[in-house]
Amino acid sequence: MIWGIKTIAIFDVWTFEHFLSGLSIGALAVSCNMKIFKGKLGLDSRDIETRYFDLIFVLLAAYSWETVEHYLENGLMGDVVAYWFQGVEFWANRIFADPLITVVGYYIAVGNPKLVTPARILSLIWLMVHVFIFPHSMYLHEIFLNN
């Protein structure tokens, strides 16, 4: 299934959050790598293509989160947290779709840096609503399925 509940679909409602996070993490990667090239290596960062380093940074962050998420889904932090996650994510979502969407967010952040601050605000709102208001991670998807 292409779109649906996270346990059976490649893309789910959290794809939007991964995109927004990609914008934020991408901007952070660019900023950190530019400081490293200029400050630590003494190179003019405007003359250096850092995309490979940026991509490694973004993918490291994405796969690190996916690893933590996997253990949380399996109950490492208890039954309440495992219930909130609503099952283990479909393998194609975890390995391909979520990191890919995060990388897409990075490329958009590089091309449109003005979108980073609104993306960070939307991401924070998304997380607050889903973690503190909704009863579990798939609640928004269930609302749309039942209507």
Residue 115 contacts by C-beta under 8 Å, 6 or more apart in sequence?
23, 108, 109
The pLDDT of residue 44: 67
Structural domain boundaries of the chain?
A: 21-41+48-116+133-146
Q: pLDDT tens digit string along 17-47?
A: 999 999 999 999 988 888 888 877 777 666 6
Maximum CA extent, the chain = 58
Over residues 68-116, the pLDDT tens digits come to 999 999 999 999 999 999 999 999 999 999 999 999 999 999 999 999 9
Give the CA-trace dihedral at 7, 11, 16, 18, to 10 degrees.
80
The structure tokens listed for 103 are 């990388």
Q: What is the mean pLDDT of the chain?
A: 91
Contacts 24+ apart (CB under 8 A), 123-131: 123/17, 123/20, 123/21, 123/24, 126/16, 126/17, 126/20, 127/17, 130/17, 131/84
Residue type, 86: Q
**pLDDT at position 133, please?**
94
d(C-alpha 125, C-alpha 28), whole Å: 19
**What pLDDT shows up at residue 51?**
83
